[in-house]
Structures are given as C-alpha cells and as structure tokens.
C-alpha cells in the first residue's frame, strides 16, 4: 500500500476534509508543518508521496524523501518550492490543478463589488449612526458596461471571465501564452497587449503565477498607464505588484483604488503605509481558501497520486 505523508498548517478538522477524500488503497499520515526538519526527514524516509500545505519543504526533507514519486502541493502556487533541487533528484512536483480556481474567482468578483458598492464603508456608517454618510448616487458603480482587463487567463482567469459575462462586462486579457481561439470565443474575451489593457480597463485583475517574468509586473510605469478611475485587484501573489509604486499611485489619486488579497510581506508590518489608505480593501491571502475547497482539492490530489502509483505521469506538473 502506498504511503503519503501530509505536512500542513491546517487545523486537524480542516485537514481531514482533504484527507477524507483518500481511497482505502492509500495510507495517509498527517503531521503539523511546524515539527522540526529532522523529524520530518525520518517520517518521509519510506514515504511514496509527500503532500504539502503550504507548498514548502527544506532541502533536508526533500533529500531524505528518497522513495517519493511525487511531491503534491495543495496550493496552486509553487514559488516556495526548490524546483531545481527536485529536478536534480528526479522528483516531479504538482500543484492543485486549479481546484481552487472557483474560490479565487468568486473572491475576485466579491472584491470588485465591495469596491464598487463601498460595502465596508457603508456597513461602518450604518453601525455608527451615519445612515446617509455616502452618496451612493455619485460614488458607487455597476460592473455592467465596464471594461475588465484580466492579466493571466489560466483556470482562475477563465472562471473570472465567465462570471464577469453574467455582469455585462467587456473582458479583455493579456497572457504571454494566448488561449485557444475556441476558448476566447466561448468566454467572449479579446487578447490585447499589456499596455492596451492597462489603458482601456476600468478594472485590472491579476491572475498570474509568481516567477521572474511576473515579479514587479505592476510597477510605476504600468500604473501610469491606468485610468484615474480604475481599480486594481490582486488575488495572485504580492510581489507581482511593486507595493511602493502602488502606494504612491493610490496616495496621489493616480488610480481610484485597489483590493488586495496578497502583499509583498505577509502579514504586513504595522507601519506599512499602504495600510493607512482608505481607498484600499484588504483580505489576508484567503481568496482560494473556503471550507468547500478542501474536498475538491483532495479529490484531485488523491487521483493524481493514484495516477503516479499506476505508472502514469502526474497532472498539473510544475
């Protein structure tokens, strides 16, 4: 029977939502991510699979996992993994195959609506006896008729595009790897150059992985191309945006606002100036995390482990 070791920071009852999807043919042992590397190394010595959430393992642990046939990440992000070392050792690494795409897409739409309809401020005003503190007739907006620019049209970007169609938005996208024509037609999206997207979009939403080509993609120059009434949504990775440049643009009113699920440093320092801005909405890197997500991730993960155990190539290899 193949053995999978699962290192995680999830509470035991939440982790069980994922491991409950394991078939009887796979033995799963769950341990806290916080245990010392020396103990982890002993645990993985005879393991066939390593499951990680968050997606990080030290060199000590990876080298000790001599029998591991797949390192399976529960997250979509893989920027914390030493992929060069895994390649050197011949150990494939897979992410979650986009099984949290629905969660991130819904979070993205919720952030757009919260910004456009000023939900947080309105809630505060009602609670503090300021019933009409906001003139919604002049300071709130509808998604219908707006142009939304998606930077990245992977599984998450595609789900966001599909949801936006129901709101009546025009959707353009930029991706270094163009979608197939039939996908563009099905989603009703148009691929444009990054500069054109930034100039046209009322809402810019980021859906790219963090790598050398995307780090600092949104910077002083790209922000200068955006409309003064545009908002920026980031539910991918903090370093995709140069935070100091974004802070300056927001302070100057160069763009209207931002909704950020991720930051360069997480959690942010208490004196981070972006936290003082009232035209920014924050969530704590939770876009892809809902109670419903774990079962979806678990089904994919254990199906992937079974594929590899049967001698097939893993899906979602990174």
Interval 253-266: pLDDT, tens: 999 999 999 999 99
The pLDDT value given to residue 77: 86
Contact 222, 254 (CB under 8 A): no
Rounded to whole angstroms, how far apart are CA atoms 149 and 194?
Answer: 9
Interval 44-60: pLDDT, tens: 999 999 999 999 999 99
Task: Point out the residues of the chain with pLDDT beneath 70.
Answer: none
- The DSSP 8-state label assigned to residue 239 in this structure reads G
In a domain, 318, yes or no: no
The pLDDT value given to residue 205: 99
Considering the domain architecture, whether residues 128 and 230 belong to the same structural domain is answered as yes
Rounded to whole angstroms, how far apart are CA atoms 187 and 181?
Answer: 10
Write the CATH number for 166: 3.40.50.720
Considering the domain architecture, whether residues 71 and 175 belong to the same structural domain is answered as no
What predicted TM-score, i.e. pTM, was given to this entire model? 0.92
Contact 146, 171 (CB under 8 A): no
How many residues in total does the chain contain? 318
For residue 166, how many other CB atoms are within 10 A of its CB? 10
Considering the domain architecture, whether residues 28 and 175 belong to the same structural domain is answered as no
The pLDDT value given to residue 79: 87
In a domain, 75, yes or no: yes
Rounded to whole angstroms, how far apart are CA atoms 181 and 22?
Answer: 37
Considering the domain architecture, whether residues 200 and 234 belong to the same structural domain is answered as yes
3-state SS class at 73: strand
> Domain total for the chain?
2
Q: Which domain holds residue 130?
A: 101-282
In a domain, 69, yes or no: yes
Q: Which two tokens stand for residue 88?
A: 């050197």
Considering the domain architecture, whether residues 140 and 10 belong to the same structural domain is answered as no
H helix runs in the chain, sequence order? 12-19, 37-44, 59-64, 83-89, 101-117, 119-127, 136-139, 155-166, 181-187, 194-200, 220-225, 243-251, 293-309
Catalogue the active-site residues. Answer: 237, 266, 285
Considering the domain architecture, whether residues 111 and 196 belong to the same structural domain is answered as yes
The pLDDT value given to residue 242: 98
Considering the domain architecture, whether residues 120 and 153 belong to the same structural domain is answered as yes
């Amino acid at each position: 029977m193949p053995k999978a070791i699962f290192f995680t920071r999830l509470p035991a009852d939440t982790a069980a939502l994922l491991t409950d999807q394991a078939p009887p043919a796979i033995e799963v042992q769950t341990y806290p991510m916080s245990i010392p590397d020396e103990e982890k190394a002993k645990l993985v010595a005879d393991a066939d699979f390593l499951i990680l959430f968050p997606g990080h393992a030290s060199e000590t642990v990876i080298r000790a996992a001599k029998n591991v046939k797949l390192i399976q990440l529960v997250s979509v992000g893989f920027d914390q993994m030493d992929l060069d070392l895994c390649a050197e050792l011949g150990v494939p690494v897979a992410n979650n195959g986009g099984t949290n795409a629905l969660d991130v897409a819904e979070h993205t739409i919720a952030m757009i609506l919260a910004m456009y309809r000023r939900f947080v401020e309105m809630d505060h005003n009602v609670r503090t006896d300021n019933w009409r503190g906001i003139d919604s007739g002049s300071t709130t907006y509808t998604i219908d008729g707006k142009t939304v620019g998606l930077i990245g049209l992977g599984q998450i970007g595609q789900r966001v595009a599909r949801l936006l169609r129901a709101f009546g938005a025009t959707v353009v996208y930029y991706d270094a790897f163009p979608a197939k024509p039939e996908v563009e037609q099905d989603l009703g999206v148009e691929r444009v150059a990054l500069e054109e997207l930034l100039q046209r979009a009322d809402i810019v939403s980021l859906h790219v992985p963090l790598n050398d080509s995307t780090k600092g993609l949104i910077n002083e120059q790209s922000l200068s191309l955006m409309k003064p009434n545009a908002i920026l949504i980031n539910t991918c990775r903090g370093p995709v945006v140069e935070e100091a440049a974004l802070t300056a643009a927001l302070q100057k009113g160069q763009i209207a606002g931002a909704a950020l699920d991720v930051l360069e440093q997480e959690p942010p320092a208490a004196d981070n100036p972006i936290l003082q801005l009232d035209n920014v909405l924050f969530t704590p890197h939770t876009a892809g995390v809902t109670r419903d997500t774990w079962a979806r991730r678990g089904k994919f993960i254990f199906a992937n482990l079974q594929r590899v155990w049967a001698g097939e190539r893993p899906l979602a290899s990174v």
